[in-house]
C-alpha cells in the first residue's frame, strides 16, 4: 500500500510541475479561463457559489430567459461533494482561481487514472509515467478550456482500468460492479454527454476484445458480465440524474423554429457561417 501511495505522490508531483510550466497563473492567483470553461462552466459555478453563500441550494436560475431549471445536464455535477471544497475555497480566494484549481484537480485525477491503467497492465514505472505525461500534455491540457470533454477523458482511463480490476482481481465482482457503477453514474454528470456515450461504447468493446482469446461467445459473456453490470448501474444512475434536464431542454426548445432550422443545406450552411462571423 505504501508503494502505491508513493507512486501516486510521484505522479502528482510530476503533473504539478507540468501544470506550473503550462498554466503558471494558477499558482500565483492569476488564472486564465476561456472557451466553454468560462462561458458555461465558470458562470454556472459562480451562480451556484453565490447561491450557496446566500444560504440556499439553487434549483432555478432567474437570469436566463424568463428563468430556467438550474440542475440541467452538466450543472447537476455542482451538487457533488467533489465540487464543494472548491465552492468553499472560492469564499476565501478569487472564484476564478478556485474554478481553475477545480479543473486542475480533475486533470490530476485523469493523470492518476492513466497511471493506474498502465500499472494494472504491469508496465514498468518509467513507461507508466511517460504515458501519464503524454496523456496530460496531448489530451487533457488541450481540453483545459472545454471542461465537459476534459472530464469525460478524465474518466476514460479509470474505466479502462476497471475493466481489468473487475474481471481479474475483484473478489466480490457483482457487489463491486453495483457499487462502482453507482459512483461512476454520479461522476458521469461531470462529462460531456456525447463523449460519455462514446466512452461507454469504447470501453465495452475493449472489455470484449481483450477477453476474446479463442473463447466462445458464451464464455466471453460470462467473464465480462460483472463489467456490464457496472455499465448498467452507471447508466441507470446517470440517466436518473440528467433526465429532468433533458426534459427541461425539450420543453424549452422542442418548438424552436428559426434560421438554423432551414431545411435547405446550402442556405443553412451560409446562415451558419454568417452567424459565426457576426458572433466573432
CA-CA distances (angstroms) from residue 46 to 58, 89, 96, 208?
11, 12, 8, 42
CA-CA distances (angstroms) from residue 73 to 61, 158, 259?
14, 22, 26
- Mean pLDDT to the nearest integer, 23-36: 68
Res 276: pLDDT: 37
Contact 80, 189 (CB under 8 A): yes
Question: Which candidate, 280, 39, 28, places its Cα nearest to that of 146?
Answer: 39
Contact 160, 117 (CB under 8 A): yes
Q: Following DSSP, what letter does each residue of 179-211 receive, concatenated?
A: HHHHHHHHHGGGS-HHHHHHHHHHHHHHHHHHH
Residue carrying the nine cell digits 480533475: 106
Res 37: pLDDT: 80
Q: Cα-Cα-Cα-Cα dihedral of 5, 6, 10, 15, to 10°?
A: 10
Extract the runs of DSSP E, i.e. beta strands, from 36-98: 60-61, 68-69
pLDDT tier, 199 (very low <50, low <70, confident <90, very high otherwise): very high
For residue 144, what are the contacts with CB-CB under 8 A and spacing of at least 6?
23, 37, 103, 107, 150
- Mean pLDDT to the nearest integer, 152-170: 88
For residue 238, what are the contacts with CB-CB under 8 A and spacing of at least 6?
185, 186, 188, 189, 196
67-87, pLDDT tens digit by residue?
788 888 788 889 988 899 999
Average pLDDT, the chain: 81
Q: Cα-Cα-Cα-Cα dihedral of 170, 228, 177, 117, to 10°?
A: 60
Amino acid at each position: 500500500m505504501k508503494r502505491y501511495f508513493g507512486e501516486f505522490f510521484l505522479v502528482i508531483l510530476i503533473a504539478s510541475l507540468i501544470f506550473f510550466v503550462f498554466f503558471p497563473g494558477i499558482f500565483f492567483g492569476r488564472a486564465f479561463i476561456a472557451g466553454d470553461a468560462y462561458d458555461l462552466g465558470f458562470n454556472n459555478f459562480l451562480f451556484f457559489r453565490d447561491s450557496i453563500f446566500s444560504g440556499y441550494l439553487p434549483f432555478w436560475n432567474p437570469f436566463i430567459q424568463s428563468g430556467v431549471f438550474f440542475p440541467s445536464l452538466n450543472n447537476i455535477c455542482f451538487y457533488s461533494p467533489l465540487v464543494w471544497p472548491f465552492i468553499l475555497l472560492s469564499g476565501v480566494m478569487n472564484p476564478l482561481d478556485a474554478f481553475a484549481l477545480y479543473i486542475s484537480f480533475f486533470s490530476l485525477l485523469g493523470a492518476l487514472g492513466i497511471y493506474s491503467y498502465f500499472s494494472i497492465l504491469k508496465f514498468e514505472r518509467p513507461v507508466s509515467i511517460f504515458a501519464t505525461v503524454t496523456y496530460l500534455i496531448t489530451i487533457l491540457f488541450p481540453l483545459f478550456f472545454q471542461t465537459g470533454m476534459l472530464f469525460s477523458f478524465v474518466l476514460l482511463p479509470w474505466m479502462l482500468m476497471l475493466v481489468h480490476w473487475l474481471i481479474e482481481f475483484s473478489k466480490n465482482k457483482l457487489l463491486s460492479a453495483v457499487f462502482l457503477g453507482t459512483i461512476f453514474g454520479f461522476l458521469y454528470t461531470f462529462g460531456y454527454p456525447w463523449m460519455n456515450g462514446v466512452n461507454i461504447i469504447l470501453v465495452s468493446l475493449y472489455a470484449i476484445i481483450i477477453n476474446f482469446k479463442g473463447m466462445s461467445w458464451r464464455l466471453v459473456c460470462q467473464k465480462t458480465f460483472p463489467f456490464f453490470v457496472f455499465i448498467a448501474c452507471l447508466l441507470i444512475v446517470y440517466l436518473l440524474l440528467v433526465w429532468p434536464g433533458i426534459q427541461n431542454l425539450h420543453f424549452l426548445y422542442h418548438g424552436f423554429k428559426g434560421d438554423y432550422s432551414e431545411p435547405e443545406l446550402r442556405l443553412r450552411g451560409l446562415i451558419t457561417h454568417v452567424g459565426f462571423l457576426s458572433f466573432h
